[in-house]
A and B are shown apart, each in its own frame.
Chain A
Amino acid sequence: MTAVGTGTEKATSPTAGDVKDPAYLKIRDLIYQTSGIYQSEEKLYLLASRCARRISALKLRTPAEYLQYLTSRRDDELRLLLNEITIGETYMFRSPAQLEALRNVILPQLITAKSALGFKRLRVWSAGCSTGEEPYTLAMFLLEESEKRLAGWTFDITATDLNDNSLATAKAGIYGEYALRSTSVLLREKYFKVHDENRLQVTDQLKSLIRFDRVNLNDDSKMLFLKGMDLIFCCNVLIYFDLASKRKVTQHFHSNLLPGGYLFLGHAESLYQVDDKLHLIHFPGTIGYWKPPIGHTDKGKP
């Protein structure tokens, strides 16, 4: 085995070669115990590169030193490391097939079902909203629909994330061309104002629809409060979780959803062998998970 960090060699930032360092496994286990985010063996290189940033920021030298630091100042440093781990790149209107399914299939269903109860309100949750692109996309989508079939409806969007930096970015609502690359000129004019030469900022109207909050999806007490959702979006979040956590979180999602509500994941995620209470529903170009209404018997038809 190659010795790592003998103390005499010059400290270098960890590279892919260091991934085998047993300290990473311990760091991985520590993260798992506290946050439920699990990185499988083949994902350890991701963890290593995230740790590398913290190691270099702290002017430490080896993963083992970092593990020690992490253990001694657990909460603060763990949060900083989780911030690194959960950084995700994303842009607005990233999943057109999901929005088409919402527009053409799901909204008509929800409108029929909820109108019958005289209840013209939609609750949407972006669970793991990262830097805010998803909740703002949903807000724009719903505002556009409120000029059509959602006229007279109210909606609130809850956007949560574990990552403080992401949440701060999301709340500021300032985006560059990358985030806006799929946003039409029409929508840019309607829902954004110029921030500086290269960036736009979302309007206050858009912001007012969204409530941002820091939530760890493994935190049972917080999860219990997010009730009555019609739609939950949780894209590329569960992928970092191990099976037990995934099961627990989807259990929560199931009870957070109203009967007839839907859960959407990232385009490459599935709940195979994770959950069997939610029904896998195919829409053109995308899949979602559905909580059937109580007493649902009409097989095959949401």
Chain B
Amino acid sequence: MNTLEGIRPKIKALEAMPTVPAIVMPLTAMLQLPPEQVKMEKVVELASYDSTIAAQCLRMANSPLFGRRNTETVRSAIMALGLKRIQAILLGCCLNNIVPPDKWAMDAVTFWRHSMGCALVCSKMAKMIGYPDPEKAYLAGLLHDLGILVNTLTCTEDFRKCIQQASEEHIALHRVEAGHLGFTHSQSGKILAEQWRFSPEVIEVIEFHHEDGVPPDKQPLVSLVHLGDLLCRLRDLGYGYYEAMGVDLAGDAAWATLVEHYPTLAQMDLARFTMDIDAVMDEIVATVDAVFKPRPAAAAR
């Protein structure tokens, strides 16, 4: 039987896993620096450290989702997409490489469609409501389900059973986790996020994004990701199965919290926003497939 305390040492041991790219820690540290302190050279250096990751990062930067450019170097990708976005992309690629291909409990493509979908929805919504840092919203959306990777690595078989049960019963994954594992991916993700010294805001997002009625003392970012996550799961960018839910998003406590901070949200045409998500869905799918679909032979440059 797994418990949160029981898997703590396993999470601690993750650091020593050979699949954890050496650049994870320096990258997360860098992500917390104010933009003016981040040197382009340093990002280029980190990105070039591992050729597989560098290749994935370039594939992502060149994907239809980000404008189908034809950047051939990390440097030009940074010029095209900005330092912050490239760092987030890099971190995503690192996380993907942590999980050995045969160990995925939820398949990698599903996981990344959801994570990238959420990242995009969060940054889009951030821009729409005037949230000051859309790139932070992107990063938080991308990382909110870190715990799914943790559960995959620390209790693979039990976690597989959770996903199976959730998909058979059409219910939310975290509810099955709570019953079956005794903890949720929000809790396990928080432990790794702290260990890797993610920013306090991102840690808070990871811990509270599933909370019904996000506690009002949490930052607006938590509410933003809570809603972004729900929207993705409602528009075929979820965990790969049908979740039987009818959600009154505008009646959600997270919505109320966000409206308090960003009153323009109250005017948002939510139905239209939802339809807009569908419009970028094909691009998300194409991007994730291009980068994270297991390939017979990864062509690293």
Interface, chain A (partner B; CB < 8 A): 100-101, 104-106, 109, 268, 270-273, 279-285, 287-288, 290, 299-302
**Stretch of B2-10, B129-137, B241-249 lying at the A interface:** B241-249
Rounded to whole Å, the gap between the CB of A147 and the closest CB of chain B is 20
Is B251 in contact with A299, judged by CB distance below 8 angstroms?
yes
Per DSSP, are chain A's interface residues mostly helix, strand or loop, or mixed?
mixed
Q: Beyond the given A279-B250, A281-B247, could you list 20 further A-B residue pairs with CB under 8 A, ordered by the A residue number?
A: A104-B170, A270-B271, A270-B275, A272-B271, A272-B272, A273-B269, A279-B248, A280-B249, A280-B271, A282-B246, A282-B248, A283-B234, A287-B274, A299-B213, A299-B251, A299-B256, A300-B252, A300-B253, A301-B251, A302-B247
Q: Which of A101, A270, A271, A272 contacts B246 (CB 8 A)?
A: A101
Rounded to whole Å, the gap between the CB of A182 and the closest CB of chain B is 18
Is B242 in contact with A299, judged by CB distance below 8 angstroms?
no
Q: Which of B238, B242, B272 contacts A100 (CB 8 A)?
A: B242
B15 proximity list for chain A (CB < 8 A) = none
Q: Which residue of B lies closest to A296 (CB)?
A: B251
Rounded to whole Å, the gap between the CB of A271 and the closest CB of chain B is 8
Is B234 in contact with A285, judged by CB distance below 8 angstroms?
yes
Rounded to whole Å, the gap between the CB of A86 and the closest CB of chain B is 23
Is B248 in contact with A302, judged by CB distance below 8 angstroms?
yes
Rounded to whole Å, the gap between the CB of A20 and the closest CB of chain B is 30
* Alpha-carbon separation in the docked complex, A290 to B250 (Å): 12
B275 proximity list for chain A (CB < 8 A) = 268, 270
Q: Does B94 contact A (CB under 8 A)?
A: no
Q: Does B231 contact A (CB under 8 A)?
A: yes
* Alpha-carbon separation in the docked complex, A290 to B251 (Å): 12
A273 proximity list for chain B (CB < 8 A) = 269
Q: Which of B212, B234, B248 contacts A290 (CB 8 A)?
A: B248
Rounded to whole Å, the gap between the CB of A268 and the closest CB of chain B is 7
Rounded to whole Å, the gap between the CB of B215 and the closest CB of chain A is 14
Q: Which of B243, B247, B272 contacts A300 (CB 8 A)?
A: B247
Among B226-267, those with CB < 8 Å from A are 230-231, 233-236, 238, 242-253, 255-256
* Alpha-carbon separation in the docked complex, A279 to B271 (Å): 11
Q: Does B270 contact A (CB under 8 A)?
A: yes
Interface size on B, as a range, is: 20 to 34
9 contacts between A and B (CB under 8 A): A270-B269, A271-B271, A272-B270, A282-B274, A284-B238, A284-B243, A284-B245, A299-B251, A300-B213
* Alpha-carbon separation in the docked complex, A288 to B271 (Å): 10
Q: Which of A104, A272, A282 contacts B244 (CB 8 A)?
A: A104
B170 proximity list for chain A (CB < 8 A) = 104
Rounded to whole Å, the gap between the CB of B244 and the closest CB of chain A is 4
* Alpha-carbon separation in the docked complex, A302 to B244 (Å): 12
Q: Which of B246, B256, B270 contacts A302 (CB 8 A)?
A: B246
Is A285 in contact with B236, judged by CB distance below 8 angstroms?
yes
Rounded to whole Å, the gap between the CB of B212 and the closest CB of chain A is 7
* Alpha-carbon separation in the docked complex, A283 to B243 (Å): 9
* Alpha-carbon separation in the docked complex, A299 to B231 (Å): 17
With A104-B242, A270-B272, A302-B246 known as contacts, the answer to whether A284 contacts B234 (CB < 8 A) is yes
Is A285 in contact with B235, judged by CB distance below 8 angstroms?
yes
B270 proximity list for chain A (CB < 8 A) = 272, 280
A283 proximity list for chain B (CB < 8 A) = 234, 245-247
With A270-B271, A270-B272, A272-B269 known as contacts, the answer to whether A300 contacts B245 (CB < 8 A) is no
B255 proximity list for chain A (CB < 8 A) = 300
Is B248 in contact with A299, judged by CB distance below 8 angstroms?
yes
Q: Which of B242, B253, B256, B269 contacts A284 (CB 8 A)?
A: B242
Q: Which of A268, A282, A299 has the most CB of B within 10 A?
A: A282
A282 proximity list for chain B (CB < 8 A) = 230-231, 234, 246-249, 274
A279 proximity list for chain B (CB < 8 A) = 248, 250-251
A100 proximity list for chain B (CB < 8 A) = 242
Rounded to whole Å, the gap between the CB of B208 and the closest CB of chain A is 15
Rounded to whole Å, the gap between the CB of A52 and the closest CB of chain B is 32
